[in-house]
Amino acid sequence: MKKATIQVNTLTCPSCALKIEGAVKALDGVEKESVRVLFNSSKVKLDYDEGKLAVEDIEKAIAALGYEVKKSQVK
Amino acid sequence: MQRLILGRKNHIMAVGAVLIAAGFVSALVFKNEIAAGWTLAAASVIGAAPIAIQAYQALKVKVVSIDLLVTIAVAGALLIKNFEESAIVTFLFLFGAFLEQRTLNKTRSAIKELTEMAPESALKQMPNGEFEEVDVEEVDVGDILLVKTGAKIPVDGTVLSGEGSVDEASITGESLPVLKEKGSKVFAGTILDNGTIQIVADRIGEDTTFSKIIELVEEAQDSKSKAERFIDRFARYYTPAVLLIGVIVFMFSRDLELAVTILVLGCPGALVIGVPVSNVAGIGNGARNGVLLKGSEVIRDFSRVDTVVFDKTGTLTAGSPSVVEKLYYGGDTKKALSLLASVERESGHPLAKAVLEEIGDAEFLTVENTEVVKGAGITASVDGHRVAVGNPALMEREKIKISGQAKADIARLEKEGNSLVIAAVDGEIRVLMAVRDTIRPGVKESLSRLKKLGVKNLVMLSGDNQGTVDAVSRELGLTEARGNMLPQDKSAYIRKMIEEKGKTVAFVGDGVNDSPSLALAHIGIAMGGGTDVAIESSDVVLMNSDFSRLPHALGLAKATARNMKQNIIIAVGVVLFLLAGVIFSEWMNMSIGMLVHEISILAVILNGMRLLRFKLRKQALRQSQ
């Protein structure tokens, strides 16, 4: 299990946060309970199973919604 | 394609505005209704494209968003050929989003300034002994780094060599330079104002105090109170509910115009954004001023505090007793002081230390036949004189003659809460010194500000003896002061205040050995100076142990809580107004509804922004008038 912190472009509406949360939770291998979208700092924090997907897959899912991923940290 | 359209939202908005203007010109000036219709329809379709895409993306992850309501409403308006309304609604929606982004960025600016202080590079010593510039992420614990004048200190570390003064504003909110020399601790994100130092890295990356503060502030901004979680849940079901109501209204009334109007009026808007905006601006203001408020729940509780409990005398006083008054009663004063100093030098008592410090340079004589009288003082023979140094009890025991004047002085000084050191030589009183732990500068003013902010009880619980505690309490005008308290007594007291007396209690401590009390109180305030324990175990942190921040923190919490309430009132008021409008009036339509919505969103954001400029001075004055 790894922890990822993904910085996205500035979020401006709370529904953007909801969208991202929904999209990330839908990915297989992401710990659903751990997903938190920090609206004000525009960050997504989550735990995921590195055996099932890579952080790039999560980035792709966020980018598909139209939000640019600035950088992500995994530990 | 989708990303292209979303990325060009601002251009699309501008095109929409031009088309709408052209449409109205052709309708009103050239009286060409057909051309006007086509231009406005084009404006609607172009403007609706990004909104529809966002709605679709949200639907894919099972979220019914505002975008969907607007898209359907615009589609409906196009169907009934109301091109004017559809064009204006799409434009207002895009324009509103544009302004929201601009203003929201402003409310977040305080925190952004803070994160931008994060160091990016470091001069690291390579195996060949040379220093090379590397990315801060390449620094490991134990690396030796060089910091030059004007540079940011890249990690938490210890100074190995060199000297310099450091601006620690990013950690403490206080920009007074702090001197650092060999062995001093330095913190990441602080700036070396002058000098050059070499440091060894102790903590790097996310473990540095600076990173922890940032993370804490970021978490705090997005922490949600129960009320906010309720609004979130509410918003999640609210939007689909509005959609459903729109559909039902259409099915029964067959009035498409009414149905789409309801969709627009029902957008949640200000309700969802109002509280987070106040929260982020309030916490941002605090972070800039050395006050960490951990989230909106904390802000709410803190704003209601009526009792502030201080955990020890040292929070309010300088912590070392000193002589505040000295009186001489005839004879050779210099000789008397020299005798007094000689005797006090034999003693390790804190009062003796204060007396010696006061006397300074003196001729020290040989002291013989020293006798320590427990709880009273010392008697000895010095230079052929019989000297007694101690409190009034010792003077009585030694049958010292005390004049009426001296008696009056003793009574007055004791009443003022001083400890007395009396020196008698050969049976006569010569010197009287009053010793007291002095109040820290500014504390009195801070306490009176707290009172003005509505704190009714100021309580001190101290491990010191009751006499000292009473003296401090009298001088500061505390409501209650208790001495001889052990940590468990303190937590028992706090429990009693909360459970039996129903007070809302804030506990001010240093976060080290009073965690039970910090946890028990509604609000635990740590005067931490940036230590980990303090940062983690409390609700509010005063970064540089500066007492004067406490009133600012309380005032800010109150202002933020008020601001949230105002925003909720604005948001709910607007929804009620619009609902009443659609039911009771003729003039309510989609465009007006959208306009009012966007205005209300901007109103709550602008209202929240006021918190960024919050300062206590004005506030305290206004309330005291």
Q: What is the ipTM of this complex?
A: 0.76
Average pLDDT over residues B341-356: 83
pLDDT at residue B620, as a whole number: 44
For the stretch B550-573, pLDDT in tens is 999 999 999 999 999 999 899 888
CB atoms closer than 10 angstroms to residue B377: 28
**Closest partner residue to A40 among B66, B236, B276, by Cβ?**
B276
Taking CB atoms within 8 Å and a gap of at least 24, the contacts of B87-90 are: B87/B16, B87/B19, B87/B20, B87/B23, B87/B40, B87/B41, B87/B43, B87/B44, B87/B47, B88/B20, B88/B590, B88/B591, B88/B594, B89/B264, B89/B590, B89/B591, B89/B594, B90/B16, B90/B43, B90/B44, B90/B47, B90/B48, B90/B51
For the stretch B379-410, pLDDT in tens is 999 988 999 998 888 888 888 888 888 889 98
Average pLDDT over residues B223-247: 75
Q: Do B61 and A23 touch (CB under 8 A)?
A: yes
Q: Is A12 touching B (CB cutoff 8 A)?
A: yes
Q: Is B58 touching A (CB cutoff 8 A)?
A: yes
* Catalytic residue annotation of B: 311
Phi, psi at B461, each rounded to 5°: -115, 120
pLDDT at residue B589, as a whole number: 81
A26: closest chain B residue by CA: B61
Total length of chain A: 75
Residue B349 near residue B456, CB atoms below 8 Å: no
pLDDT at residue B624, as a whole number: 41
pLDDT at residue B175, as a whole number: 62
Q: Could you tell me which residues are beta bridge partners of residue B195? A: B164
Query: Which residues does chain A have within 8 Å of residue B280's beta carbon, measured at their own beta carbons?
Result: 40
Q: Is A3 touching B (CB cutoff 8 A)?
A: no
pLDDT at residue B462, as a whole number: 79
B239: closest chain A residue by CA: A15
C-alpha B88/C-alpha B600 separation (Å) is 17
- The shortest C-alpha distance from B559 to chain A (Å) reads 20
C-alpha B313/C-alpha B296 separation (Å) is 31
Q: Could you tell me which residues are beta bridge partners of residue B161? A: B198
Q: Which domains does chain A have, with CATH numbers?
A: 2-74 (3.30.70.100)
Q: Could you give the 3-state DSSP secondary structure of residue B438?
A: strand
Nearest C-alpha neighbor of B162 from the set B150, B180, B149: B180
For the stretch B34-55, pLDDT in tens is 888 888 888 888 888 888 888 8
Residue with tokens 């937590």: B491
pLDDT at residue B231, as a whole number: 67
Residue with tokens 């994060």: B118
pLDDT at residue B510, as a whole number: 67
Q: Could you give the 3-state DSSP secondary structure of residue B150?
A: coil
pLDDT at residue B424, as a whole number: 92
Average pLDDT over residues B117-145: 88
In this prediction, residue B621 has a pLDDT band, given cuts at 50, 70 and 90, of very low
Q: Which domains does chain B have, with CATH numbers?
A: 121-151+156-203 (2.70.150.10), 287-316+440-555 (3.40.50.1000), 318-438 (3.40.1110.10)
**Closest partner residue to A66 among B3, B219, B232, by Cβ?**
B3
Q: Is the pLDDT of residue B507 over 60?
A: yes
Between B103 and B433, whose confidence is greater?
Answer: B433
What is the pLDDT of chain B when averaged over all its residues?
83
Residue B262 near residue B245, CB atoms below 8 Å: yes
Average pLDDT over residues B81-110: 82
- The shortest C-alpha distance from A35 to chain B (Å) reads 13
pLDDT at residue B19, as a whole number: 87
Between B228 and B261, whose confidence is greater?
Answer: B261
* Element of type H or E holding B186: strand B185-186
pLDDT at residue B530, as a whole number: 47
Q: Is B100 touching A (CB cutoff 8 A)?
A: yes
Ranges of residues in chain A whose predicted pLDDT is under 70: 14
Nearest C-alpha neighbor of B286 from the set B301, B298, B274: B298
CB contact set of B355 (below 8 Å; sequence gap of 6+): B323, B340, B341, B344, B421, B433, B435
Q: Is the pLDDT of residue B518 over 80?
A: no
